[in-house]
Structure 1
Amino acid sequence: MSHLIRTALLGAAVLGTLAGAAATTPSPLTLTAANLVVTQETRDGKKVEVLTDASKTQVVPGSVLSLTQTFKNVSKGALSSIVLNMKVDPATTFQRATCTVGGITTQYSTDGKTFAAAPLMKTVTVTENGKSVQKKVEVKPSEYTAVRWNIARLTAGQEGTCAIRVTVK
């Protein structure tokens, strides 16, 4: 695996935060990250998706990766206002985001600082009839640089997985 691709995978490591958790207190939320290579196979005449640990296969430009965060509430009570963040590594191009739990809000960013629900909009300057005019246009998902999942509530023992799909440049 090339150094650039390896760096992309390491840079794609996820960061989860739990609002208000003190650094010395054991976290009531466990997080497990996985980087998986997505391939297609034909089984019994049907195309199926196969996920392989990225450390056990070759990752090359054009490879599709599923970067996942699996989380579980290991406390005895409900947790609220959980925020999971995932950066889109610059060596990859964002495709889509998914999450297996309900009651979430997914937001996207083009700068890693400001987040909003899709579709994101940006202002561009174009020339019309010889004059510069500003127009609002939709941001392409390939321009997203980060994803944030806001989970309103997780009951005791509840778990889920949030993930992004990216293509290696």
Structure 2
Amino acid sequence: MSTLIRTTLLGAAALGTLAGAAATTPSPLTLTAATMVVTQETRDGKKVEVLTDANKTQVVPGSVLSLRQTFRNVSKGPLNSIALNMKVDPATTFQQASCTVAGVTTQYSIDGKTFAAAPLMKTVTVTENGKTVQKKVEVKPSEYTAVRWNIARLTAGQEGTCAIRATVK
């Protein structure tokens, strides 16, 4: 089954839709969103990472969040060419992205429309030696506004998690 699924993942709720499918057709992909606060604790003399549901703890400036989307192919066949998008909330600063599915390609955006592999480049206008010139510069990850994971193939019953880490401003 060759299917293109485009979803926008926004940390609190997500819907999977088949491109061109009728509204009554159930999605072959289930998505579950979770926002977790990341903290460090010392246990048995070792630092460990602790994830706490953001609804059950205080989130303040400087808090590190893990915005996660867990997905599962609930169809009887493989799904191909899945693109999962997640916006970076403007109240946060992007840190990193990850995905547990093998063969995923991760792309980033600074405008929420165009995506490319890191490092992203942008053109800036600067003054050098009294002259205005345009230069290509590398975009800092903190400027990313969205992430896209391109998953080539998801077999029947296969699941995975894609996530971003972001710091609350």
Q: Distance in 2 between matches of 1:119 and 1:15?
A: 28
Count how many residue pairs are aligned between Structure 1 and Structure 2.
159
Which string of whole-angstrom CA distances, capped at 9 and with x for unpartnered residues, describes residues 98-145 of structure 1? 000011111100010111110000011111111011110000000000
Aligned position for 1:109: 109
Q: Where in structure 2 are there 5+ consecutive unaligned residues?
A: 1-9
Cα gap change, 1:18 to 1:153, in 2 (>3 Å): farther
CA contact (8 A) 2:14 2:32 kept: no
Would you say the 8 A contact 1:36–1:51 is kept in 2?
A: yes
Give the percent of matched residue pairs that are identical in Structure 1 and Structure 2. 84
Structure 1 ranges of 4+ moved more than 4 A: 14-19
Whole-Å separation in 2 of the counterparts to 1:21 and 1:161: 25
- Unaligned segments of structure 1, at least 5 residues: 1-10
TM-score, normalisation: structure 1? 0.90
Partner of 1:65: helix, strand, or coil?
Answer: strand
Map residues 133-148 of structure 1 onto 2, 5 A cutoff. 133-148=133-148
1:157 counterpart residue number: 157
Give the superposed CA RMSD.
Answer: 1.3
1:17 and 1:140, CA in 2 relative to 1: closer, same or farther beyond 3 A?
farther
How much does 1:97 deviate? 0.2
Equivalent position of 2:91 in the other structure: 91
Q: 1:18, 1:154 → 2: CA distance?
A: 15
Alpha-carbon distance in structure 2 between the residues aligned to 1:34 and 1:73: 18
The residue type paired with residue 13 of structure 1 is: A
Tell me which residue corresponds to 2:41.
41
Question: Do 1:19 and 1:81's aligned partners in 2 also have CA atoms closer than 8 Å?
Answer: no
